[in-house]
């Protein structure tokens, strides 16, 4: 979901998947980190996606946030400045 908030837009990406345990949240933006290595072997992935997203967001001098509950899902959010006219 994208919300217009004046000179910025707020972006939220939600899923209703398995969620992320609170103990794993501090590490999810580390390169090559995978919460569940057995599951990711079956589904693929390198463990780089969230690290790349964080790098891009920080390149815009912004912060990415995450909220998650096991068996309920996860929400990632960030804001970006709108281009000036």
Cα 69 versus chain centre, distance: 14
Strand pairing class (65-69; 73-81): antiparallel
Please name the CATH architecture into which domain 2-81 falls.
2-Layer Sandwich (3.30)
Average pLDDT (18-39) is 86
pLDDT value at residue 41: 55
How confident is the prediction for the chain on average, in pLDDT? 90
DSSP 37: H
Strands 2-5 and 73-81: unpaired
- Rounded Cα distance, 42 and 30, in Å: 21
Q: Where are the alpha helices (DSSP H) in 2-66?
A: 37-43, 49-59
Model pTM score: 0.83
Q: Is the pLDDT of residue 43 over 70?
A: no
């Amino acid at each position: 979901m994208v919300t217009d908030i004046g000179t910025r837009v707020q972006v939220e990406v939600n899923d209703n998947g398995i969620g992320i345990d609170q103990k794993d949240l501090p590490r999810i933006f580390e390169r090559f980190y995978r919460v569940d290595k057995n599951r990711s072997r079956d589904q693929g992935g390198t463990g780089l996606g969230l690290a790349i997203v964080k790098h891009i967001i920080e390149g815009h001098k912004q912060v990415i946030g995450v909220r998650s509950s096991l068996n309920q899902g996860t929400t990632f959010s960030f804001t970006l400045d709108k281009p000036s006219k």
